[in-house]
Structure 1
C-alpha cells in the first residue's frame, strides 16, 4: 500500500500498522489517536465532524482518557475503523487528505498518556530459555525447569496500579534484603535493580465468570500488544518470594509503550512456535502459527553518555503462546475484563546476547557487562535510562511498537 503522507523511512508507524494511543496537546485534553509516521491522526476530531457516525461511534467515546470505551465497541468496529483509515490514507480524494491541518498532530507536539485503564495484570513465565537460565543459576542445570513448567503456562497476578507509560521515570525501590555474608535482613534501597523485556496482550473482549476461552478463540479476545518492562528488584525478591512469590520486588513499577499495536496488524508475522513436548493437555492444544516474529532489543544509557544495546531477541522464541496463556488463565472460570494485560514474562533467546534481563546477561553478577564508560555493570545504577524497542518486518512491511524509555532515579 502506498500513502500520500510523507512517512520517514523505517518508521515504526507505517500504513500497515495504525496503532492506537491516548495523547493530549497544550490546547486540548487527552483523547484517542492513531500513529502514522511522525504524526497522530486525531480520531476525536474526525468523530466530532461525524465521519464515524455511520459506524455508531459517538464523539465522546474518542474523547476519553483511555482506549477502554473504544475497545468495548467490539472487533467489527475496530476492523471498520482500521479499514476506513487505511482507505483514506491511500487515496488523495479522501476526508483525511482534505482535513490534514485539522486532524493531524505532530508526535513531537503531543504528550502521550497511559493508553488503558488496567484493572488487572498477569505476568507469565513463558520463555523456556529464560526459565532455564534462571533455574540453572539457582538449582543447577539438571533441575533447571520445575516439573510443572512444560505442562502449563506458569504465572502470577501483578500490581496494575503501578503500571506507567513510557517516559515516566521511576525511583529505586526499597525493601528488606540480605547482604552478602549476613544472615539477617536490613532495610535498604535495592542493590539489584533489573529490567525484564516482555510483550503484553491487551484484553479486548470479556468472558463471563465461570466460562473459559479456548486457545483458538483467543483472537476474538485480544485487542493488540504493547511493549512491557516488568522491573524487578532481584535482592528484595530473593528474600521474600518463598513461599508465596513476588511482592515488593515487583510491585513498585512496570512500564509500557504508549501505542497499542492492533492484533490485525501483526497477522503477516505469524510463525510456528517451538515443538511442545510433552504434548499439552487438550485444553491447551493449539494449531500452527500462533507465535509472532517480532524483533526486540534493550539499550542502557548511563547518565551523560550514549545508549548501548545490551540485548537483541525475538518474541517468536516463546514456548507458550498467548492463546495458551489466555486459555490457562480462564480454564477455571476466571473472567477477563476490557483493558486487562497478559504479559509474556521475560523474553530470552538461546545466545548470551539475547537474554532479556540483567540477571541473565550478567549471570547473577558473575559476568559484569561493560557499557560505554567501560564501567562494569551487573545491575542498573541511578541515572541509567533503559529503552525497549520492538518491530516486525518482512517484504517491505514494517510494524513497530515505538519504545519504552525509563530513567532510574534515586530512592526517595
Structure 2
C-alpha cells in the first residue's frame, strides 16, 4: 500500500464540492423534526410517526446504491444534480402535505433520493485528485458536513419556533442552491461515447462479490455504529450523569471546530500508510470514548470530544481512499456506494445497541464498551485487513479476472 506523499493544493473541483456539501448540510436540519410534524399537525401517535421515519431510513440504503450505479453510467455531475433536485421536490412535498399518507409517501420518496448525492460526489473527488491527495480531500469533505451542521442547529431553532413546515421549505431551497452550485461550477460529464463502459467483471454486482470490499464494509459498519452513538446516545448519557441534554449540542459544535483545526494533522501524518493512519485514528477514538466513560462533568466531556474528533480526522478520509484503491476506475461510484451503505446499516443498528448498553451498563459501560470496540478495530486493521488487501490482487472479484 503506497504511503501518502505531499498532498499539495487540492483541485478547484474538490473545493466546490466541499462548499456545496456545507450549503446542503446547512439546510438539512428538517429530518429531525419529521416525527414532530407528523404528531403535532396530524395527531398521529408517536409509534406511527416512528414507523414513517424508519421507512425513510430504510429507503436511504437503496438510494445510495442507485447513486453509485448512476454515477458510473449517467455521469457524476448529472447524478448529483438529479439527486439534489429530487430531494428538493420531496422536501417541498412534505411541506405542503395535507394528510399523513402524503407525508409518508414523500418521506419514502425523500429516502429513495436522499443518498444519491454521496457516491458521485465521492467518485468525482477520487477522479479529480492524485492518489496521495485522496485522504486529505475525503477528510475535508467530511469536515464540511460537521461545519454545516453547526449552523443548521441555529437555523432550525429560528424557523422551528415559527412553523415546522418552513424547515422543509428551507431544506428544499438549500438543495436547489447546492444543485445550482454543482451545475454551474463543476466541469461537465464527458459524453457517453468517451466514458469507459463498465466491463462484465465490473458489472453491477461485482462490488458485492469483492471479498476485500465486504471486509471494509463490515469494519466500516462497526465504526459507523460507534460514531453514531455520540449523536444518538450522548443526550441520554448526559442526563444520566446529571447534566443537561442540550450540552450535547455544545459537544457537537466543539467537535466541528476541532475537525477544522486538525486538518493540518493530515499533512503531518502524510508519510503514514492508510492502515497505520487508521490504526492511530482508532486509538484516538478509543481514548476519547474512554474519556467519556470516566468523565463526570462537562469539562471532562469537552476534553474527550477533542481527542476523539482528532482521531476521526486522522482515519475517516483514509477509509474512503482504501475503497478507491480497490475499485476499478470505471466502478468507483459503485464501490463507494456499497461501502457507504455502512451508514444505512448503522442507522438501524445504532439506536438498538446504544439504548441497550445504556440501560444495562450505564454511561460508563456504554462508552467503555465502545472504546473497547475501537481497540478491536485498531487491531483488526493491522492484523486482518492490511494482510488481506496485500495478499489479494487489485481486482480480486470472485469468479472474475481484472477488467
TM-score range, shorter chain: under 0.3
Greater strand fraction, Structure 1 or Structure 2: 1
TM-score normalised by L of structure 2? 0.27
| Higher relative contact order structure (alpha carbons within 8 Å, sequence separation ≥ 6) | 2
